Every structure is written in structure tokens, then in C-alpha cells.
Amino acid sequence: MRNSNQNSTSKRYQGYTQQYIGGQWRDGQSKDSRIIDTNPYDGKELVVIRGASVADVNDAYTSALAAQPAWEATSPRERAAIMRRAADILLARRDEIIDLTIQETGGIRKFAEIIWYFAWSITDASASYPALVKGGILQSDVPNQESMYYRKALGVVTVISPWNSPINLTQRSLAPALALGNTVVLKPASDTPITGGLIHAKVFAEAGLPPDVLNVVVGSSSEIGDAVIKHPVSNLVSFTGSTSVGRSLLGKVGESPMLKRLALELGGNAPFVVLDDADLDAAVQALVVGRFLHQGQICMSANRAIVVASVHDAFVDKLVERIKSLPSGDPQHADTVIGPLINNAQVKSVLAKIEKAKSEGLHMILGGDVFGAMANIIPPHVFVDVASHHALAREESFGPVLPILKARDEAHALELANDTEFGLSSAVFTKDLERGRRFILQVKAGMGHVNDIPIADSEYAPFGGERNSGIGRFNSDWIVDEYTRTHWITTQRTRAELPF
């Protein structure tokens, strides 16, 4: 039997217990699936949602398809106005959304504030995207022919959003897609159905988005995942998540009756390089934030530290001292830095990586036992003398675990940085800014930062990875290209001269 506090918590979120399909809130039709949304820190139940069925998914796509022509025909000014109103609503509900994020993701308050800001900023920026859609007149060698190209909305877009940073990573795909005249079917992760999906439906409905333009289906991937991915109505699938799942999407999309585009933001193994002339105190602070923010459950997180030998020992001493001071526990507390992992499966995955590192003989200089009400707070673990071939240096841990690799010199550091299948983000620390820029340009990644953390995003900059870290780019002109299609048109003003 639930205690009174648990009942009180549940009542706060009763507005998020249904699917949003065809402009209506309705119960899912799954016979077996119930999505139980719980607080990762204390296990308290937030909401229970009856899952969507394949029939619900079909209804969502039918609604989106029917609404798309009229939505694309809506004036750019009106679509921009809806984006601005949605941004204003996010601003007005800042505290509510931050609290929801803490409750649903287990993220610390500072993390929740950061990702709320990114969700708001991309929504605000999306108001300018309709004006970025441009066509043009082309030269033609054909006599009396006018050649032009237009850019149009893709049509119906599928967004599959992750649990680790749901409010902003959902909005990063959703707001631009809507602003550019697409309709959307959104499937949030089952761990975060509110901040990854249902709250977006409420915000955009309040902002005046027409019914049917956005549909949100909450359900188990085993029941509706393939139906969402393969649906013939969808023209693009935007997925943020693991590389393994992203790879599976490539095959599943190929099985769809209609070929479609894929936008994939996948895993990372970001190198954090400390060169011999680095400001060690600044590098330590940046690495602590870049690795342990949100318990390391960020794709851009500093997954490996690579430190040049001449400063290695001094850097490690400073780093360990700083990590030991990090408060852990309840993410609601303002000073907490290390909170819980999202669920028990993630805890098991991280612990398995730690045990494997120990079995390989890696030297652990900082660690500790799992604790917390749900036994899902893992204290920071640090390993030194890690080689590039070790699993800890090659795999994305997605947890508060840091391997440190020792580089002989700058050239070796670059070699180690590029010794990975991933290529999302990267960072280097040096007092010589030109040296840092030269170094980071040689790292095989979509993004690089000199004297800063690898966790960075901007509505004005291209966000995305190389290699097994993804396909495509987000933000500004780059997302306009992703979410629109080019249509070439010619007009023959006189009778054409044809070969026969």
C-alpha cells in the first residue's frame, strides 16, 4: 500500500496519464503495457500510463498526415508566433519543469536548470527558422528555360527521444520540425514520458498549435517500437540514444515500405586531453564537471582523460582531491553533485564495467559502494594506468566512472584521442590557444572545445557527430537542411528542342 506522501506525489502529475493523439487526451489501448514512471532517487511513483498500442500509433500517424498540408501552408509568421508563445510558456513554467526534471530523471538541480535553458533557447530560436527556408533561381543551358529550386517541409517526422536529458533533447528535434512545417509523432523514452513527451504536448497546445500537428505516443518499445520506426507515413526518424540501437534503426528503416531519412545522435567517447602547458586547476574543474555532471549520463561527457606524462601525477593528485569533496545524495538538494542513475538496469551496466576493469588489473584510485534508498547512487570511480585497448577506454560507460590514460607527449595524446569508434565531442586544455585549436582540429569528432568542457550545445552552432556517433546535424541552418527537402522545378517558356 502506498504511503500518503507517495499518493500526494502521484496527484501532482495526474495530468500526464494519457496519450496525446489527434488533439485529444485519451487512454492507450495496449492490453499488456503499463508505463510506471518513478522517481529514481526514492522510487516514488509519479504516474502510471496505460501504454499505446499499434492501433494508437496508426491513429497518431493518420492524424499527423492529415494535418500536415494545412500546417505547412500556415504562414511562416504564424508558425514563428507559435514558437515564441511556446518559448514564453517554457519561461513561465521554468520552476515547474525543473522540478519535474529532477523528479523524473534523478538529475541534480543544476543539471535540470541547464537543460531547461537549452529547451527554452532552441524553442526561442525556432521562431526564426521559417525565415531560413529559401529557394533560388538557377542558371540553365537550355534556351528559354527558367530553372528554380524550392525548399519544402519533409512531411511527417518521427521523434524518438532519450531518458537522460529529455526536456531539451526532445525539444531540439521537435521545435525545429514544427517550425518548418512538419507534423510530428513523438515517442518519449519510457523512463521519462512526461519531460520527454507529454509536457511538450501541453506546452504546444497552450501555445496554439493546431490539433493533430503533434501526436505523442507513450508505450513499450517491444510493443510499438517497430511500428513507430517503420511506419510508411513517416519521412524522417530523428533518434537520440545509444549507438547499438541506432545501428538497429538502420536495418529497420530499410524494412519500411517507404524509404525515409534518418537523423541519429548516438553514443560518444569524448577525449579530455590535458597538454603539458595546461592550467591544471582549470582543467581539473572542467573535467569534474565534464565527467560527473548528471552522473556521467550524457553522450558528450568526458569519457576518457588523456594526460601528458610530464603533468600526469600532479594533475591526478589535484583531481582526486577535488572529486572527494563532491556531495552526493538527494538531487533536490541544491549542493548535491552526484545523484542517482536512472534505473537499476543502468546501475548493473555501470557496475559490470567497473568489475571488468578490476578484473583486467586496472588500478582504481577512487571508488566506493553503491548506496541510496534505491541502491542506485554510484560514487565516482577513477582508474589510472589505463591503456587504449582496455574496455573502460573504448566503451561509453554512461556513469560516474573515469579512466585516465597517460600520453608520452602531444602527438601520442592525439593518437589516443582518435583511437575510438566514436566521434561526438572532445576537449583539450592548453595555455597556448593556437596550439589548442590546431590540436582539436585534428581530433576526429563533430565538435571540439579548447579550455572548456566537451558538454556543450548552442542554438547557433552545428551539433552532431562523426563515425559511430551519429548522422546529421542539429540547430540553425543545419537543422533546416535536415527537416526540409529540395524540389527542383523548370518552366519551358517556348517549345523545347527535343532530340526526336
> Looking at the annotation, which residues are catalytic?
265, 299
Residues in contact with 479: Cβ distance below 8 Å, sequence separation at least 6, in sequence order: 129, 176, 473
How many Å from the N-terminal Cα to the C-terminal Cα in the chain?
Answer: 84
Q: In what order do the strands lie in the sheet with 427-429?
A: 363-366, 381-384, 401-407, 302-308, 270-274, 427-429, 449-450
Residues in contact with 296: Cβ distance below 8 Å, sequence separation at least 6, in sequence order: 303, 397, 398, 399, 400, 401
Q: Cα(268)–Cα(165) distance, rounded to whole angstroms?
A: 15
Please name which of 157, 161, 181 lies closest in space to residue 171, comparing C-alpha atoms: 161
Contact between residue 455 and residue 290 where contact means Cβ atoms under 8 Å apart = yes
Which DSSP helix (H) or strand (E) runs through 385? none
Dihedral angle, C-alpha 21, 27, 30, 31, nearest 10 °: -160
Contact between residue 267 and residue 446 where contact means Cβ atoms under 8 Å apart = no
Q: Cα(201)–Cα(210) distance, rounded to whole angstroms?
A: 11
Phi, psi angle pair for 147, to nearest 5°:
-120, 125
Contact between residue 445 and residue 423 where contact means Cβ atoms under 8 Å apart = yes
Q: Cα(90)–Cα(446) distance, rounded to whole angstroms?
A: 29
Supply the DSSP string of 187-209, one letter for each residue. Answer: E--TT-TIIIIIHHHHHHHHHTP
Q: Please tell me whether residue 336 adopts helix, strand or coil conformation.
A: coil
Question: Position of cell 558538454?
Answer: 455
Supply the DSSP string of 218-238, one letter for each residue. Answer: ---HHHHHHHHHH-TT-SEEE
Contact between residue 135 and residue 185 where contact means Cβ atoms under 8 Å apart = no
Please name which of 261, 71, 57, 82 lies closest in space to residue 182, comparing C-alpha atoms: 71
Sort strands 381-384 and 401-407 into parallel, antiparallel or unpaired. Answer: parallel
Please name which of 168, 405, 408 lies closest in space to residue 287, comparing C-alpha atoms: 405
Question: Position of cell 517526422?
Answer: 157
